[in-house]
Chains A and B, each alone.
Chain A
Amino acid sequence: MQEKTKALKAAFPYTLPVMTGYLFLGMAFGILLNSKGYHFGWALLMSVFIYAGSMQYVAINLLTIAFNPLNAFIMTLMVNARHLFYGLSLLGKFGEGGSKKPYLMFGLTDETFSILCATNPPPGVDRGWFMFFITLLNQSYWVMACALGGILGSLVSFNTKGIDFVMTALFVVIFLEQWKSQKQHAPALIGLGASVFCLLVFGPVNFIIPSMILIILVFTLLRRPIENLTNLETIDKLEEVS
């Protein structure tokens, strides 16, 4: 028990920046979902079982178009493909997760990943529990914010027109952060170019899957030049992470 309290106390300060971010994003999510006719219980359900910031915003789109489970599944894999990368960077650290490992995998959001890969528990604190509480605290902020937004949205009626732009804003900010973190922008530009190209060719309803295929195709064909350019950066990054 004392081991857990110690880990919880050590974990809390690291989660504070995430708390502020999640409060805004989560509440906006709850309000937006409410504006589509889903009361706060749905926001609660989704934040507990899906627990993925950007994907929950995309989910609102998927809930407001014709019923298409296959499309929803493929969209989820595409939107969350970046999590594959997070997992790959944490293969080692999660090895110490023990029985908490399944939950650590479940709760691996962008924000949790950014804390876990950059921090180590203070001396004497169990790594497994430390990582567990960072993940759990982050999710608790998210769940509270989503539910609160849903309740707020139903109590206060205001003009929500344009609030879904919060999703665009989130992705633009992530894009900028990624851009600043890299010297070499080919992957971002390939993603942008391929998506715009497919949007123009296939139209707004059907362009995501072709975009995904085109992106992977271009990456496969240009593997050597891209790897040569990114090689040094990758090595730097891996050293930082480990």
Chain B
Amino acid sequence: MILSAQQSLIIIAIIALGTFLTRALPFLLFPSNRATPPFILYLGNVIPFAAIAMLIVYCLKNVSLLAAPYGLPEGIAIAFIVVIHLWKKNVLLSIGGGTVLYMALVQFVFA
């Protein structure tokens, strides 16, 4: 643990609060008897796609393409997930298989 127990609790409480806030906000701002502004509807419509793409970049932020192993474990595992997911359409297989493959790659092949 890098943080103390108290600091950890503060971080967890803040995340819990922030999460509830994003889930409850639409209901607080737009009671069902009033119309929602079009710009908000528009943002709500497009942000989910951008947010997931951003999260993928966030996960891969420390991967270096210029030093060994040149992002190969990540590249191979993601390619595997894309192929297996489009082929088998099984979420569990895609996530589980991709993770196990990645672990095997970093522990044995690129160790």
A residues touching B (Cβ–Cβ < 8 Å)? 20-21, 24-25, 28, 36-38, 42, 45-46, 49-52, 54-55, 58-59, 62-67, 69, 72-73, 76-88, 91-92, 94-95, 101-102, 105-106, 108, 159-163, 165-176, 178, 182, 185, 187-192, 194-196, 199, 204, 207-208, 211-212, 215-216, 219, 223, 226-227, 230, 234
> B18 an interface residue at 8 Å Cβ cutoff?
yes
Q: How far is the CB of B3 from chain A (nearest CB, A)?
A: 6
* Residues of chain B whose beta carbon lies under 8 Å from any beta carbon of chain A: 1-3, 7-8, 10-27, 30, 32, 36, 39-62, 73-74, 77-78, 81-82, 85-86, 91-92, 94-96, 98-99, 102-103, 105-107
* Inter-subunit contact A165/B32 (CB<8 Å): no
Task: Give the docked Cα–Cα distance between A211 and B50 (Å).
Answer: 10
Inter-subunit contact B53/A191 (CB<8 Å)? yes
Contact between chains at A49 and B26 (CB < 8 Å): no
A44 to chain B, nearest CB (A): 11
Q: Please, how many angstroms separate the alpha-carbon atoms of A112 and B55 in the complex?
A: 20
* A105 close to B20 (CB less than 8 A): yes
A188 → B minimal CB distance (Å): 4
Q: Please, which residues of chain A bring their CB within 8 A of the CB of B15? A: 46, 50, 55, 59, 62, 72-73, 76
Complex formed: what's the CA distance from A12 to B102 in Å?
A: 34
Q: With A106-B23, A188-B50 in contact, is A88–B41 under 8 Å at CB? A: yes
Give A80 Cβ to nearest chain B Cβ, in Å. 4
Instruction: Name the residue on A nearest B96 (C-beta).
Output: A24
Inside 8 A of B17's CB, which chain A residues have their CB? 73
- Bound complex: CA of A207 vs CA of B58, how far in Å? 9
- CB pair A72–B19 under 8 Å, yes or no, is no
List 8 additional A-B contacts (Cβ < 8 Å) besides A24-B92, A72-B11.
A59-B11, A80-B22, A169-B99, A173-B91, A176-B94, A194-B54, A195-B58, A227-B42
